Amino acid sequence: MDLLDRHAHFHPQTDPKVLERDGPIVFERGNGVTVTDSSGRSYIEGMASLWCAALGFTNPRLAQTAHDQMLTLASYHTFNRRANPPAIELAEKLLSIAPMSDGKVSFCNSGSEAVDTMIKLSWLYQSARGRSRKRKIISRHNAYHGSTVMGATLSGLPHVRGAMAVEDNDVVIFAAAPYHYRQAQKDETPETFAARMLSELDALIQREGPENIAAMIVEPVMGAGGVIIPPEGYYRNVEALLRRHDILLLSDEVICGFGRTGHWFGCQTFGFRPDMMSVAKGLSSGYQPIGATLMSREIYQAVSEEAGRLGVFGHGFTYAGHPVTSAVALETLRIYDEIDLIGRVRSLSKAFLAHLHSFSDHALIGETRGIGMIGALELVADKVSRAPFPPSRRVGARLIELAMERGIILRNLGDVIAICPPLVIEEAEIAALFSRLSDALADLQNELLASTSIDREVSA
């Protein structure tokens, strides 16, 4: 399998040269919150795959649901007034838990497509209101909104943008991320920092002209950008500012949606009401590729009128509302209800966050941050000055390697270590995860001390 993969498989978000040299890590089985590789070694999956496997890796009900639907209606589309029972019921269920219960749902296959849909709907909405000049979209540095051309262009991460985003465009403009640990000025409290962020955002809007701005897109917690959690009140003030300027607020809930932060959606956790939301990942617990865009009644009514004038809503995907993916997602939401997912997250987060913050005094940790069942440790070379390690040292990547040797899978975002386990994890498994992480940190610290000693000997 190793040689076949190296020969034929081009991996996403991977250094191709490292893959050619070291080969893939092939996972063959899952059981609860653990996965097992081709050598027979098992790991606690501390990232829920890619922020998504809320129900772990072996849920027989979801497997049976997919099997049953495949035998009933295995495939069909939703273009030109077609529908199927799972898609209909799923749309209704989504609206029942969303902060826009009188809105509409547009299905797709991924979070990236859901984000693209929000942007296109924003433009169509503004055009329908006779405000076709409102085309610009505000994103933020450190944001991640997907891998489509528009998703990459909205993202504020250099490795995502690279040569693959639309450059020299006047559509996407960037505001600062609410990253207090790295962006705060000397002696700036979270409150004064949030006020400055709002003032700078207002200045950006005035400079670009509110009459030219269609929407602002935000992740409630900025996942891939470093698990950045905003100061208290930040989003409520951003929402009020956007409303004053007649700018839509789009919430990218691909990571935060479905209980991760202690509410159904991250916007509810942080107390703001978006005009549209993109969802995916936890929608099916990662068991099927499915995403959706949820829109308010106001958005739907405007775009419906405009689409009617044009003759058709000229957007959609072949597999949008696919009966199998919809059936699995619907069953996922039923299971979430049955296990009281929101109550479970709120209860588990006490232990999760206590373990997370126990690392705050560690010599290599500059900051611990988390909410609900998502958190991060930020590695630093010096706690007092907050000086980072040189990127060439690849300290975060090395910690991930050491963690795997200890039997846990996490993800490094540079030197930020993200932790986002399945939501069915038990307290004993949380304790085991952090115990193994502690051991991996000790291994890293020993390596760094040894390398420092060698450097000193060479210098001498």
Point out which residues pair with 303 in neighbouring strands: none
Across the range 374-400, mean pLDDT stands at: 97
Q: Exposed (0-12), middle (13-18) or buried (19+): which is 301, by Cβ within 10 Å?
A: middle
Give tens-digit pLDDT for 428-449: 999 999 999 999 999 999 999 9
Q: Mean pLDDT of all residues in the chain? A: 95
The secondary structure element, H or E, covering residue 278 is strand 276-279
Distance CA 295, CA 105 (A): 6
Point out which residues pair with 292 in neighbouring strands: 107, 279
Amino acid 168: pLDDT: 66
Distance CA 405, CA 409 (A): 9
Which sign, positive or negative, has the C-alpha torsion 307, 311, 315, 318?
positive
Residue 419 has pLDDT above 60, yes or no: yes
Give tens-digit pLDDT for 247-301: 999 999 999 999 999 999 999 999 999 999 999 999 999 999 999 999 999 999 9
Query: Is residue 300 within 8 Å of residue 104, measured between CB atoms?
Result: yes
Amino acid 55: pLDDT: 98
Amino acid 155: pLDDT: 94
Distance CA 226, CA 366 (A): 13
Query: Is residue 256 within 8 Å of residue 266, measured between CB atoms?
Result: yes
Give tens-digit pLDDT for 89-99: 999 999 999 99
455 pLDDT band, cuts 50/70/90, is: low
Task: Tell me the percentage of the chain whose pLDDT exceeds 90.
Answer: 89
Distance CA 332, CA 327 (A): 9
Give tens-digit pLDDT for 28-56: 999 999 999 999 999 999 999 999 999 99
Give tens-digit pLDDT for 124-159: 999 999 999 999 999 999 999 999 999 999 999 988
Amino acid 167: pLDDT: 76
Beta strands in 312-395 (DSSP E): 365-371, 374-379
Write phi, then psi, for 210 (nearest 5 degrees).
-60, -25
454 pLDDT band, cuts 50/70/90, is: low
Residue 7 has pLDDT above 80, yes or no: yes
Residue 458 has pLDDT above 60, yes or no: no
Query: Is residue 379 within 8 Å of residue 396, measured between CB atoms?
Result: yes
Across the range 4-32, mean pLDDT stands at: 91
Query: Is residue 147 within 8 Å of residue 160, measured between CB atoms?
Result: yes
Amino acid 169: pLDDT: 76
214: left (phi over 0), alpha (psi -120 to 50) or beta: alpha
Write phi, then psi, for 434 (nearest 5 degrees).
-75, -30
Domains by residue range for the chain, with CATH? 2-58+340-459 (3.90.1150.10), 73-338 (3.40.640.10)
Distance CA 249, CA 138 (A): 10
164 pLDDT band, cuts 50/70/90, is: confident
Query: Is residue 247 within 8 Å of residue 215, measured between CB atoms?
Result: yes
391 pLDDT band, cuts 50/70/90, is: very high
